[in-house]
Chains A and B, each alone.
Chain A
Amino acid sequence: MNALQSVCTLLTDRQAEALRKQPEAEELRLRLGRPPSVVLAGRELPLDCAAVERRDLQRVLEIATGASVHAAAHAMRSACLTYRGLRIGVCGEAVFSGAELTGFRNLSSLAIRMPHEADQSCRKLAERVAENVRNTLILAPPGGGKTTLLRELIRCHAERGRRVCVLDERGELGGRDSCHDLGPCSDVITGLDKLEASMLFLRGMNPEIIAMDEITRPADIRALDCIVGCGVKLLATAHGESLGDMQKRELYRQMLQKGIFIEMICISLREGKRVYERVPL
């Protein structure tokens, strides 16, 4: 089942029919009281169907969580949950039990990210990058294609017989019931934070490369420290547009100062197309 088909299982027949007319959509957005819309080449276009009702949003959440919204609270705390490799962002009224976020009520909007197969240029780049094994950071703004390139890099390395351990915290790289093929020599841990999963990999899986998506917290930097200190190579992604952006953020500045990464790949969108730039660090 591809991403489009997976999204359609979450929607009403009418919405699914309208979405199928936009197979290139990168994202589907459902906002209460407005028609669903898709993001295409960075622009948002409304679909030709009725306004989204609250029950439509609840239906998506119910199916995505297997009628277990309470069990997805952990994923919601990290701002999104995953379903068959799709990333679903949730907005609504946050509900707490004590200090702990236990979910959302009165849902107002959902964003369903639809992962795509890597395009030609992404594949070629991944093939070239995978000729050598070195610590590589992929940098792009949200929705820029970081995860797609990371997946492609993992697959290329794994197809060359390198043992790639994948830290798939939210199950969107290739874990759980994802439809993505990460190659023959990849091993995936899902649902654990990066630091804990790194330790498990280092102790038990004898990795050559460890791959992880979205470095966002100080604990993630500690995980990077552990990995490079053990002689294992790294593939990772981070939010930003350029090296200048990274310098502005304390967390990333620290990471750059440590000299963990040898190379950075910046992805930008120009005239609706993704452009990849390799930057030595």
Chain B
Amino acid sequence: MSGRAVGISLLLFGVFTGLLRYETSSRAQLRRLRSMRQLLALMEGDLEKSRCTMAELLESIRPGLRDDALLFSVMLSGRLDELGKRRFFELWSDCVTDALPEATQEERRCLDELGHILGQYELETQCQALRRSRAMLEAWIGQTEASLPQRRHLALGLSISAAALCVLVLI
């Protein structure tokens, strides 16, 4: 009886730990998505307003950036010197890989597609692409935010059950 209860409580504890890790990664994803959304919003605003070069643009929006997006912009600025030897979308894609290693396949595809448009098309097309990518990030942020409380409740329930079973076994 007690052996079975220990097994169940260990199982519940394992699920709880898994959910906790999943929640931690979801929070990291949320931070990443929010910071990249901020980057795209600032880029769009600056493109329309100042019409400065990509290097100047990255420099000017940097104070408004944080987390992964800040790292991404620093990396991209540093790599712009390679233009001519490599295409802009290659530099952009490398920065997505290096600055956002935890990004999902979908996120990476979305950002890579944006890199193909930025820098080489006229203003309106670039702004449209930025808006499109930002809308996708928004949708993922919404989904992740919505799933977080459910997972939190589930993790809480499981941990209470595991704790109750442990107490029973100990008594």
Contact with B along A57-92 (1 / 0, CB 8 A): 011011101111111011000000000000000000
Complex Cα distance, B47 from A71, in Å, reads 8
**Is B123's CB under 8 angstroms from A97's CB?**
yes
Which A residues touch B80, using CB under 8 A?
66-67
Which B residues touch A104, using CB under 8 A?
122
Complex Cα distance, B80 from A103, in Å, reads 22
**Is B123's CB under 8 angstroms from A67's CB?**
no
Q: Which residues of A from 103 to 123 have beta carbons under 8 Å from B?
A: 103-105
Which A residues touch B54, using CB under 8 A?
66-68, 71
Which B residues touch A62, using CB under 8 A?
83, 87-88, 119-120
Q: What residue in chain B is nearest A9 (Cβ atoms)?
A: B84
Which single member of B47, B51, B83, B122 contacts A66 (CB below 8 Å)?
B83
B93 within 8 A of A: no
Which A residues touch B122, using CB under 8 A?
69-70, 73, 95, 102-105
Interface size class of B (residues with CB under 8 A): 20 to 34
The A contact surface, by secondary structure, is: mixed
**Is A105's CB under 8 angstroms from B53's CB?**
no
Interface size class of A (residues with CB under 8 A): 20 to 34
Contact with B along A38-71 (1 / 0, CB 8 A): 0000000000000000000011011101111111
Contact with B along A1-44 (1 / 0, CB 8 A): 00000000110000000000000000000000000000000000
Given contacts A62-B83, A62-B87, A66-B83, contact A71 B51 (CB under 8 A): yes
**Is B123's CB under 8 angstroms from A70's CB?**
yes
